[in-house]
Amino acid sequence: MAHWLDLFDKELGLDEVPLRQRPMQALFKLFEHDAIEMRAGETRIREINIADHAATPWFRVLYSAVEFWYIDLFGEEAMAETGNAPLEGVVLVRGLPFLLRLRANRNKVEIEGKQTWMYFEDGLGEGEVAHDWIIGGPDLARLDEASRAEVEAQAATVASTLRYVEFRRVAWRGGENEAARQLVVNTLSSLQQAARRMVSSRDSSRGPGWYDLQMAAECALKAVLQLKTGTQLRTHKLNELLDACTPHGVVFDETKLDDFPSPSEMAEWRYGQGRPWRLEFQHRAYLMVLELVRASMAQIPPGMTPGSRLLLRYPPWLSDTGTAER
């Protein structure tokens, strides 16, 4: 099958199909192009719904053969199941930035190796403790009570806000307003990129990190305008965007923007020019942007109820590996 798979993979590559999805699509192409032939009695398999046979031993054997070809070509690490990408934020502990990494969705195993519940939350779910997700941080028990409470509150705010935005990204209900949807996507992306830059503690990342915060706030406000009016203001000034969003229900104290850099400063820092404000002020701005983003996302209604869940069954053709499809 190697020459067929090589041909099909080039086509899948041009279509930018994710690597982990290619074995299954390549297997279907083998049937579609008569590269292999299977029969159920007198009926050729390609003439019926292949999904009806997904749990059969012969389907698992064929899938394993195609998957082996991909593993041999790209390596096990590239082919490993990654699941949904985690959400990433930043918390400050005694003036030092640490990454906060959490699952995009809360999972609960129903039947080990067979079924898992996936919960779609717009915040922290049952039994979740945000500060447990701090990566490489110090033992919080060693902090005094006030400092520990501050870190725990930070972690809860960061985690719940990231989930709040992610929930609206996944449960989009804005119809065909692709511009508004993409602004929500970019809000989440910019928030996470700002966090990563802060955690890096590199001077070269400080300026671009400020610009990421500007983009997160700007995209969140423009998403509201785009969804409510079908258009958006062509400005980078957050106070002007907030004023335009206020009639559409966004509630936020505009005076908090007084301590945020101007668009001209942000543009300068983006290109490594000037002297970006220190981490202390950047993290304070990060928390302010989280609050502004949440106020904006509150006016973007999701298409499902928070806490909704799906029961995921492990694909029968992967049952030997215990890998769940996301």
Whole-number Å distance between alpha carbons of 25 and 160 = 37
Mean pLDDT of 241-270: 94
Q: What is the pLDDT of residue 83?
A: 65
Number of continuous H segments (helices) and E segments (strands) in the chain: 10, 7
Region 139-155: mean pLDDT is: 95
- Poorest-confidence range of 2-11, 79-88, 246-255? 79-88
Section 92-99 average pLDDT: 94
pLDDT band at 4 (very low <50, low <70, confident <90, very high): very high
Q: Strand runs (DSSP E) across the chain, as ranges?
A: 39-40, 43-44, 87-93, 96-102, 106-111, 115-120, 308-313
3-class secondary structure, 34: coil
Report which secondary-structure segment, H or E, holds 154.
Answer: helix 145-170
The per-residue DSSP string of 123-143 comes to S--TT--GGGGBSS---GGGS
Question: Can you tell me the distance from the alpha carbon of 286 to that of 89, in angstroms, rounded to the nearest whole number?
Answer: 10
Q: What is the pLDDT of residues 47-95, one digit of tens each?
A: 556 667 777 888 888 888 999 999 999 998 888 876 678 999 999 999 9
Which of the two residues, 174 and 183, has the higher pLDDT score? Answer: 183
Token pair 């989280």 is at which residue?
290
Q: Which residues are bridge partners to 39 per DSSP?
A: 44
- pTM (predicted TM-score): 0.81
Residues in contact with 135: Cβ distance below 8 Å, sequence separation at least 6, in sequence order: 98, 99, 100, 101
Beta-bridge mates of residue 88: 101
pLDDT value for 326:
37
Q: Which residue has the higher pLDDT, 282 or 325?
A: 282
How does DSSP assign 21-89, residue by residue? GHHHHHHHHHHHTTSS--EETTEEGGGS-GGGGTTSHHHHHHHHHHHHHHHHHH-HHHHS---SPPEEE
pLDDT digits (tens, 9 = 90+) for 289-318: 999 999 999 999 888 888 888 887 777 776
Across the chain, what does the average pLDDT equal? 89
Query: In 3D, which of 143, 157, 166 has the Cα closest to residue 306?
Result: 166
Q: Residue 313's pLDDT is what? A: 74
CA distance between the termini of the chain? 28
The yes-or-no verdict on residue 126 having pLDDT over 70 is: yes
Grade residue 45 by pLDDT with cuts at 50, 70 and 90: low
For residue 297, which of 126, 175, 160 has the smallest C-alpha distance? Answer: 160
Instruction: Report the Cα 76 to chain-centroid distance in Å.
Output: 23
Higher-pLDDT residue of 288, 36: 288
pLDDT band at 322 (very low <50, low <70, confident <90, very high): very low
Whether pLDDT at 276 is above 90: yes
Q: Is 97 in contact with 167 (CB distance < 8 Å)?
A: no
Contact in structure between 99 and 196 (CB atoms under 8 Å): yes
- Give the domain ranges of the chain: 2-80, 101-297
Distance CA 207, CA 271 (A): 7
